Structure 1
Amino acid sequence: MGESINDDELYIPQVAEDRMPKAGMKFLSVEAAFSFYNQYAREAGFSARISNSKKNKVTNEIYWKQIVCFKEGHTDQSRSNKREVNGQPKTVRARGEVRTNCKAKISLIKQQTGSDWIINNFVEAHNHALCSPSKVHLLRSHRSVSLAKRALTQQFSEANVPTCQQMRLLEIEYGGPEYVGCTERDIRNIEQELRDEQKGVDAETLLEFFASEKDKNPTFFFDYETDSNKKFMRCFWADPKSRRQYSVFGDVVVFDSTYNTNKYGMIFAPFVGVNHHHQTIVFGCGFLSDEKTESFIWLLNKWMEAMPTGAPKVIITDQDPAMTKAIAQVLPFTVHRYCLWHILNKFPDKVSPVTLRDHYQSIKKVIMNSTSPDEFEQSWKDVIKCANLELNDWISLMYGSNNVWSKCSCS
Structure 2
Amino acid sequence: MDGIAGDSSQNVNTHIDWTPQVGLEFNTLGDAWNHWGNYGKQMGYGVRKGFLNKSKLDGKVTTRGFTCCRAGVRGIDKRNHLYTRHRYEVRTNCPVRLHVSLVRETGKYKVYDFVAEHNHILHLEETAYMMRSHRKMSEVQAFEIDLACASGISPKATHALMSIEAGGRANLGYIELDQKNYLRTRRQRNLIYGEASCLLRYFQEKINKNPSFRYAVQLDAEEKITNIFWADARMIVGYVYFGDMMTFVTTFGTNKELKPLAVFTSFNHHRGVVIFGATLLYDETIGSFKWLFENFLDAHTGKKPRSIFTDQDAEMAKALSEVMPETYHRLCTWHIMQNDIKHLGNLMKDDSHFLRDFKSCMFEYDDKSEFEEAWDKMIEKYNVGSVSWLDGIYKLKTKWAKCHMKNAFTLGVRSTQLSESINSDLKAYLKSDLSMMEFFQHFERVVEQKRHKELEAEFHAREKLPTLALKNSPMLKQASHTYTPVIFKKFHDEYDYASVIVIKHRNDSQLVHEYVVGIFDETREYKVLCDHVNKIISCSCRKCETFGILCCHALKIFDLLDIKMIPSTYILKRWTREAKSEYILNTTTMNMENGVNLNVTQRYRRLCPMLVGLATEAADNEDAYAFVEKMVKEM
Per the normalisation by structure 1, the TM-score is 0.69
- After TM superposition, give the deviation of residue 164 of structure 1 in Å: 0.9
Q: Given the superposition, is the C-alpha separation of residues 322 and 67 from structure 1 closer, same or farther in structure 2, using an over 3 Å criterion?
A: farther
Show the 5 A alignment for 1:178-217: 178-195=170-187, 200=197, 203-210=200-207, 213-214=210-211
- Of 334, 344, 359, 1:340 maps to 334
Partner of 1:7: none
Identity of aligned residues (%): 21
Show the 5 A alignment for 1:154-169: 154-169=146-161
Matched residues in 1 for 2:315 and 2:77: separation? 55
Tell me which amino acid in the other structure corresponds to 1:340.
W
Q: Does 1:131 align with 2:128?
A: no
Q: Given the superposition, is the C-alpha separation of residues 245 and 375 from structure 1 closer, same or farther in structure 2, using an over 3 Å criterion?
A: farther
Matched residues in 2 for 1:401 and 1:102: separation? 84
- After TM superposition, give the deviation of residue 28 of structure 1 in Å: 1.5
Show the 5 A alignment for 1:5-404: 18-76=17-75, 78=77, 93-195=85-187, 200=197, 203-210=200-207, 213-214=210-211, 220=212, 222-225=214-217, 227=219, 234-237=228-231, 239=233, 240-246=236-242, 249-250=244-245, 253-258=246-251, 268-275=261-268, 277-282=270-275, 284-288=276-280, 290-293=282-285, 294-307=287-300, 311-312=304-305, 314-318=307-311, 323=316, 326-327=319-320, 330-331=323-324, 334-338=328-332, 340=334, 373=375
After superposition, what is the alpha-carbon deviation per residue over 1:123-161, rounded to whole angstroms, capped at 9, x for unaligned? 222232222222221111111112332232232223222
Matched residues in 1 for 2:388 and 2:122: separation? 69
Matched residues in 1 for 2:109 and 2:382: separation? 89
Matched residues in 2 for 1:264 and 1:128: separation? 52
Matched residues in 1 for 2:268 and 2:16: separation? 75
Structure of higher CA gyration radius: 2
Verify the 8 A CA contact 2:264 2:277 in the aligned structure 1: yes
Instruction: Please give the secondary structure, in 2, of the residue aligned with 1:134.
Output: helix
Q: Given the superposition, is the C-alpha separation of residues 120 and 236 from structure 1 closer, same or farther in structure 2, using an over 3 Å criterion?
A: same
After superposition, what is the alpha-carbon deviation per residue over 1:372-404, rounded to whole angstroms, capped at 9, x for unaligned? 54687699999xxxxxxxxxxxxx998787556
- After TM superposition, give the deviation of residue 245 of structure 1 in Å: 2.7
Matched residues in 1 for 2:258 and 2:110: separation? 56
Matched residues in 2 for 1:322 and 1:125: separation? 79
Tell me which amino acid in the other structure corresponds to 1:317.
T
- After TM superposition, give the deviation of residue 23 of structure 1 in Å: 1.7
Tell me which amino acid in the other structure corresponds to 2:26.
F
Aligned-pair RMSD on alpha carbons?
A: 4.5
Tell me which amino acid in the other structure corresponds to 1:121.
D
After superposition, what is the alpha-carbon deviation per residue over 1:265-285, rounded to whole angstroms, capped at 9, x for unaligned? 965432112256432223x21
Matched residues in 2 for 1:364 and 1:123: separation? 88
Matched residues in 1 for 2:135 and 2:229: separation? 42
Instruction: Please give the secondary structure, in 1, of the residue aligned with 2:50.
Output: strand
Matched residues in 1 for 2:76 and 2:390: separation? 65
Tell me which amino acid in the other structure corresponds to 1:74.
V
Matched residues in 1 for 2:392 and 2:20: separation? 82
Tell me which amino acid in the other structure corresponds to 1:244.
V
- After TM superposition, give the deviation of residue 210 of structure 1 in Å: 3.2
- After TM superposition, give the deviation of residue 182 of structure 1 in Å: 0.9
Verify the 8 A CA contact 1:261 1:267 in the aligned structure 2: yes
Q: Given the superposition, is the C-alpha separation of residues 343 and 62 from structure 1 closer, same or farther in structure 2, using an over 3 Å criterion?
A: farther
Per the normalisation by structure 2, the TM-score is 0.47
Tell me which amino acid in the other structure corresponds to 1:47.
G
Tell me which amino acid in the other structure corresponds to 1:30.
L
Q: Given the superposition, is the C-alpha separation of residues 37 and 213 from structure 1 closer, same or farther in structure 2, using an over 3 Å criterion?
A: closer
Instruction: Please give the secondary structure, in 1, of the residue aligned with 2:74.
Output: coil
Aligned length: 359
Verify the 8 A CA contact 2:284 2:315 in the aligned structure 1: yes
Gap runs ≥5 in structure 2: 1-13, 192-196, 343-348, 365-373, 401-413, 422-635
Q: Given the superposition, is the C-alpha separation of residues 67 and 398 from structure 1 closer, same or farther in structure 2, using an over 3 Å criterion?
A: farther
Matched residues in 1 for 2:306 and 2:247: separation? 11
Instruction: Please give the secondary structure, in 2, of the residue aligned with 1:54.
Output: strand
After superposition, what is the alpha-carbon deviation per residue over 1:35-89, rounded to whole angstroms, capped at 9, x for unaligned? 111111112111111122123344443212111111223334735x77xxxxxx9
Instruction: Please give the secondary structure, in 1, of the residue aligned with 2:92.
Output: coil
Matched residues in 1 for 2:256 and 2:77: separation? 38
Matched residues in 2 for 1:401 and 1:39: separation? 79
Tell me which amino acid in the other structure corresponds to 1:256.
V
